[in-house]
Amino acid sequence: MPHPSLAHRPLTIATRESRLALWQAEHVRSLLQARLGTRVQLLGMTTRGDQILDRSLSKVGGKGLFVKELETALAEGHADLAVHSLKDVPMDLPEGFALAAVLEREDPRDALVSPRYGSLAALPQSARVGTSSLRRVAQLLAARPDLCIEPLRGNLDTRLRKLDEGQYDAIVLAAAGLVRLGLAERIAGHFEAADMLPAAGQGALGIEIRSDDAELHAALALLTDRTAWLAVHAERAVSRGLGGSCSMPLAAHAHWQGDRLHLAAALGHVDDPGQPLLRVQVGAQVTDRGTWQADGSDPATQAAERLGAEAVALLHQRGAAAYLQT
């Protein structure tokens, strides 16, 4: 049955044109057509984040480079919604935009990809490991200070090609992207959260819309996975509380045990990856009773965000301010 408010309205999804981004947009299109009965088309776009490949994101404007052009398409009415890997979405959206839905989460872990080595411990002394994530750099060097960490940019296929050409002994990627593209066999080993804490929102897909589109906002609520929504709101509250961006080696990951949400966070030094990581863990009961407010004002979402704020306070108690100075 078509959703009553969308029966008359075809939708356009703004998406990046990488293979993974298109898979994500197609996935959302299928959900919209199956659950809401509305017609959906894709608007492929190239972002500045896709174009600038010779410098790290932390030096050219951050992860917002992957979403700005999509937001422009929304603002100008060329698209109704944009689909993002939530870990690439800035913690505070620009005025006029809203996070309308978070879908069921894929595996949030990081993955080691290597043709020869099955684990971090198996890598030889001074092995070349590719990643441009400061979060990963800090945690890799905390575990193996002998490694030679080398920059790695480009879409997922480009990164795998560089590995296959022998430019690296191993690379670190999000497991979710490999699984979604049917490339799980490329994973040599997974990093458990205790060994490599994921980025806030990793493995989750978010749908962004214009904040004044109440009709679409209400309809998209039907696609939201509430356990993922609450977990990523706790994680993103950590990043927001510390002014989080890709120029900060920060990790945050929440998981459920019954109705209790457990949140772990780790912060590396912004200038000296050799400094020890600051680590904290917090937990709280987060129940999902009552009416959910899609703007995040419901008690459960607020409780999840308070958990993130508690983690931020603990990090500050352990010296976060000194780690954030540049």
Nearest to 318 by CA among 264, 280, 288: 280
> How far is CA 230 from each of CA 114, 203, 299, rounded to the nearest angstrom?
34, 14, 11
Burial level of 166, CB count in 10 A (0-12/13-18/19+)?
Answer: exposed
Q: Look up 88 and say whether it is catalytic.
A: yes
Nearest-5° angle of CA 200, CA 236, CA 286? Answer: 105
Residue 254, token pair as written in the block: 């929440």
Token readout for 181 is 């593209």
Per residue, the 3-state secondary structure of 179-229, as one string, reads HHCCCHHHEEEEECCCCCCCCCCCCCEEEEEECCCHHHHHHHHHHCCHHHH
| Active-site hit among 50, 80, 88, 169 | 88
Q: Report how far apart the first and last C-alpha atoms of the chain are (Å, whole number).
A: 55
CA separation (Å) from 211 to 69, 86, 170, 286?
Answer: 17, 17, 42, 26
Residues marked as catalytic: 88
